[in-house]
Amino acid sequence: MQTRLAFEYILTPKGMVRDQALVVGADGRIERIEPRGAGPYDGFLAIPGMPNAHSHAFQRALAGYGEVPSGEDSFWSWRDAMYRLANRVSPEDMFVIAREAFWDMLRGGYTSVAEFHYLHHMPDGRPGAQMGRAVIAAARETGIRLRLLPVFYQQGGFGRPARDEQRRFVHGSIEEFCALLSELHGVDLGLAPHSLRAVPAETLDKLLAATAGIMGPDAPVHIHISEQRREVEECQAAYGATPVTVLARHVTLGPRWNLVHATHATDAEMQVTRESGAGVVICPITEAYLGDGLFAAHEFVSAGGRIAIGSDSNCRIDAIEELRLLEYGQRLRQERRARLATSAGLGMPLWQLACRGGAQALGHVSGALEVGHFADLVVVQHEASALRGHDVDTLMDALIIGGSRADISDVYVGGARRVRAGVCHGQEQSAHAFDEAVRRLNAI
C-alpha cells in the first residue's frame, strides 16, 4: 500500500522544491517525488529526519543530577555519578528510560538512532541479553529506526583492571561477547569497542574478525576516542602516541569506522581520518555539558571530512540545537562567523551534511528525501516563530539560528507518522513511568 505525503516545501539533495508530494511504498521507501496536484498539504516544510549517531539512552535519567561541584569537577567525577545510576538500572527501568529517550528523540528531530549500549549485565553482574532486549523493545514501541551497537569493554583504563562499578559493562572474553550478540535478534547490529581505555588496541583485529560472522563484515564500527585530554595523555604514556594514531596502527580505518568525539585529535590524525573515509561523530551539547572541549569541525569539514551528530548523554535532545551549538562553537574557536556555511547559507548545507554523515554512520539508506531512501522526515510548522519573515532561501538558516524542537510538528519514520502536532501516542503514560524511575534511581 502506498502513502502520499504532500508539502508546500521539501528539502531534497538538489535543494528546496515547492508543491511536491512524496510517494512512499509499502517498504517505507520513497518511490517517487511528483507534483502535489489537488488536495490539502500534509505540512509546510519537510526535511530529512536527522540520524542520531551516538546515544547512551540510560543516561537520560541522569540529566540534572551531579551538578553540585565536587572538588576539581570534571568528566571523570561525572563518571562516578553515572556509575551509581548504571548499577541500579534493571531491564524494566531500561525499557522505561529508553522509551522516553526515544520519544524525545523523535520530538527533537531524530528519526533513527545508533544506541551505544554498554549497560549489558544484570545489576548483580549476571550475564544475559535482557538489557539489550529492553532497548530493542523501546525502539519498537516508539517506532524510531534503531542501529544497536553492543559495546565491548574489557578494562578500566590503559593497563588497569575494570573497577567494581564497571562490572555491568565488562565481558571476560571476545567469545563471551559474541555469545551476547547471538542472543540479540530482530535488530540491525553494529560493533562498538568502547574506547582504547577500555579495549586494548592489540585485541581490536581479533574482535573485528570474530564479530564479522555475526553482523557482517561491513557493519558500522563506532569507538569513543580522544574525548578528554587526560585520555590522550594516558594513551601517550601507554603507547607512545595519541589515540587516533594508535587506532590507525592497529586496524585498517575505512568508511565503516566512526570516531566518536575525536575532540583532541591532531591535524595529522584528522588527515588520516579523512583520507581513510572514516567519519567523526560530534556531540556538541554533551561535549559542552561534560567540558570536553571543541573539535576542529570547520577545518575537518572544509577539507572534505565526514561528520555526524549525536545526543550522547541525552541531557538535552534537540537536533536543531546540536547543529546550532556545533556552528557557534566553531565561531567561538576562530572568532569569526559562518564557519560551516556555504554559498547556499548555513541551514540547508549543515542539516544535509549531518544527515548524510549520520546515515552512513548508522548504515541506513536514509538521511535524504530522494527516491530509494526511507521516508524518514521531519515537518516544520508554518507558524514557527523562527521562520516568520523568511522565504524559501532563508527558511533553513532561520531554523538553525533561531529555531528549536518546538518548531517541529510531525515526524515520520518509513512514511508512518510517529509524532502528530508535537505529540507522541502514549507519551503521557511514558512520561509518568519515566518520572517515577528517575526519582527512584537517583534517590540517595
C-alpha grid cell, residue 107: 520530538
What angle separates helix 91-107 from helix 130-142, to the nearest 10 degrees? 30
Contact 359, 52 (CB under 8 A): no
Q: Which of 42, 104, 292, 312 is catalytic?
A: 312
Within 10 angstroms of residue 237's Cβ, the number of other Cβ atoms is 10
Question: Taking Cα atoms as reference points, which of 23, 26, 25 lies closest to residue 4?
Answer: 23
The Cα–Cα gap between 324 and 311 comes to: 13
Give residues with Cβ within 8 angstroms of 438, minimum separation 6: 61, 97
E strand map for 253-397: 257-261, 279-282, 306-309, 377-380
Residue 317: how many CA atoms within 13 Å on its side-chain side?
A: 30
Give residues with Cβ within 8 angstroms of 377, minimum separation 6: 5, 22, 46, 47, 48, 49, 111, 369, 411, 412
DSSP codes joined into one string, 395-438: HHHHHHHH--GGGEEEEEETTEEEEETTEETTHHHHHHHHHHHH
DSSP codes joined into one string, 19-77: EEEEEE-TTSBEEEEEE--SS--S-SEEEEPEEEEEE-GGGGGGTTSS-S--SS--HHH
Handedness of CA 207, 51, 147, 80 (dihedral sign): positive
Q: Which of 121, 194, 261, 373 is catalytic?
A: 261
The Cα–Cα gap between 87 and 7 comes to: 47
The Cα–Cα gap between 443 and 85 comes to: 10
- For residue 224, indicate whether it is catalytic: no
Contact 378, 372 (CB under 8 A): no
- For residue 261, indicate whether it is catalytic: yes
What angle separates helix 91-107 from helix 427-441, to the nearest 10 degrees? 130
The Cα–Cα gap between 312 and 115 comes to: 9
Give residues with Cβ within 8 angstroms of 57, minimum separation 6: 94, 97, 98, 101, 102, 115, 117, 135, 138, 314
Q: Which residues are known to be catalytic?
A: 261, 312
